[in-house]
Amino acid sequence: MNAGSAPTATFAAVKHVIGTEAELRALIGVPVELVLAKIADRLNPLTRKFIELSPFLCLATSDPDGRCDVSPRGDPAGFVRILDDRTLLLPDRPGNKIADSLRNILLNPHVGLLFVVPGVTDTFRVNGRAVLTTDLDLLTPCAFEGQVPRLAILVEIEEAYTQCSKAFLRSHLWDPARHVDRSTLPSGGEILQCQVGTDFDAEEYDAARAQRYARREGFYRP
């Protein structure tokens, strides 16, 4: 929901909204002690493997008013550097310059990361505090294709733990038989055309973007 916008009629009309944790716990119960025991404030030699083998993560941030954003981040496996058992470094690669995550971190340092390893149904979660850094001693080892990132996200771990497989098993995410043909979904150009008007040339936009991707333009060079 955008800042200052009113709730939709559908949202406002929903009945039986849960308003307290007591109501929530009465419905879903409480976690067993063994589940709570897996939550640590640092990595260990076993859990760090999830970060070392992960080529993809989702980064969650929010602004001071609680408006949230989730951003995908990806590079060859191990792109997130483990500086020590409580500190991670996430290089920032060129993007669309909207910079939702980066702007949020400037105002609210709390972040959440979900690490995904291809073919593995367990994921790894990290919650902590972040700052943006331009320290070249930290950035230089993050160079890829000859390009040192301009900045990185430094994360101090507060919570680190594995997430069970149920979501990935229920979704059949890694099952090739369930994969969706990209042509069944609208292209980026078609979505933009729907939003900005029919004068926008969706085919030209999609073709130009495909050519940029083929050249790896904007992957690592600003």
Distance CA 91, CA 73 (A): 9
Distance CA 16, CA 170 (A): 27
| Proportion of the chain in helix, strand, coil states, percent, rounded to 5 | 30, 25, 40
pTM for the structure as a whole? 0.94
Q: What is the mean pLDDT of each run of 10 residues along the chain (222 residues)?
A: 76 94 97 95 98 98 96 98 98 96 98 98 98 98 96 98 97 97 97 95 97 96 88
CB 79 within 8 A of CB 55: yes
pLDDT for the residue 160: 98
What domains appear along the chain, each with residue ranges and CATH number?
27-171 (2.30.110.10), 180-214 (no CATH)
Distance CA 166, CA 120 (A): 12
pLDDT for the residue 1: 42
Which tokens sit at 14? Answer: 């929903």
pLDDT for the residue 5: 77
